[in-house]
Structure 1
Amino acid sequence: MLKTICYISDSREYESLENVKKIYTKAKQNNLKLNITGILIYQNGNFLQVLEGHEEQVDKTYEKIRNDSRHRNIIKVINNTIEQRIFEDYNFGFSIIKSSQEFNELNDYLNWLKHADNKIANKVILMVENFIGIIS
């Protein structure tokens, strides 16, 4: 069974560019190994991440993140089973959003997805759009 979790959190410290790159690299490696797709956005001390994949893998990954000392004030905003992945076709399955150009590309992808009749997808899209609107 496929599942998606979307969470937002505060970074315990304002991460340097070097630390953020390390976090992104490790997250992408780990998620690819576990066949987890999604996105990770970091801006001004805040994370938003969407994880999607097999239920057991997504739950384990989220638990690991919850226990990661770099996060505080973690709020799980979406926790649902899904019929299909939303971000599977976006940038080879897992994407790190770091620049305004990448935000624009993500916005284009989200607008394309809105035409799908999928309530969970639309809920995830709304969360990401709201986060992007706050930080862009």
Structure 2
Amino acid sequence: MLKTICYISDSCQEESLHALKNLYSKAKKNNSKHNITGVLIYYNKNFLQVLEGDKISVDATFKRISLDTRHRNVFKVININIPQRIFEDYNFGFTIVNNSKELNELYEYLEWLRKADNTLANKVVNMVENFIAQKKESV
């Protein structure tokens, strides 16, 4: 059975580009090993991540993340079984939103997802858009 968890969290520190790239490399390697797909977004000292895969792997990965001292205020937004993967073709992507060009690229991907006309995909798209909008307002 496939499952997805989407969470948001605060970073305990301002992450450097180098630290974020290392974090992403480790996450991608671990997630590939456990056949987890999804996306990781970092914006303004906050993370939003979507994990997809078999229930045991997704739950174990989320548990490790929630115990990671680099995160605080980990909040699970979506925790449901799914009939198919949304991010299967995205191969666990990573986005650092630093400027309007990167934000536009993310929106292009989200728009592609929205056109898939998948209810869960649309929920994730709306959540990512709200996440970014809220972070913009707090800057």
Following superposition, the deviation at residue 134 of structure 1 comes to 3.7
AA of the residue aligned to 1:67: L
Rounded to whole Å, the distance in 2 between the matches of 1:102 and 1:131 is 15
Name the SS for the 1:117 alignment partner.
coil
| Aligned position for 2:77 | 77
| Aligned position for 2:86 | 86
Q: Which of these residues, 73, 96, 99, is aligned with residue 98 of structure 1?
A: 96
**CA-to-aligned-CA distance 1:71-102 (integer Å, 9 cap, x gap):** 10000000011111111112xx1101025444
Q: Normalized against structure 2, the TM-score is what? A: 0.87
% of aligned pairs identical? 60
Q: How many equivalent pairs are there?
A: 134
Q: Which runs of 5+ in 2 are unaligned?
A: none
Following superposition, the deviation at residue 135 of structure 1 comes to 4.4
Name the SS for the 2:115 alignment partner.
coil
**CA-to-aligned-CA distance 1:33-83 (integer Å, 9 cap, x gap):** 111111101122111000011111000000000010111000000001111
Following superposition, the deviation at residue 109 of structure 1 comes to 2.2
Name the SS for the 2:89 alignment partner.
coil
Name the SS for the 2:85 alignment partner.
coil
Q: 1:50 to 1:105 in 2, by over 3 A?
A: same
Cα RMSD (Å) of the superposition? 1.6
| Aligned position for 1:113 | 113
Rounded to whole Å, the distance in 2 between the matches of 1:57 and 1:103 is 30
What aligned pairs does 1:1-136 form with structure 2 within 5 A after superposition? Answer: 1-90=1-90, 93-99=91-97, 100=99, 101-135=101-135
Following superposition, the deviation at residue 133 of structure 1 comes to 3.0
- 8 A Cα contact 2:39 2:87, kept in partner: yes
AA of the residue aligned to 1:9: S
Q: Which runs of 5+ in 1 are unaligned?
A: none
Rounded to whole Å, the distance in 2 between the matches of 1:14 and 1:106 is 21
- 8 A Cα contact 2:43 2:132, kept in partner: no
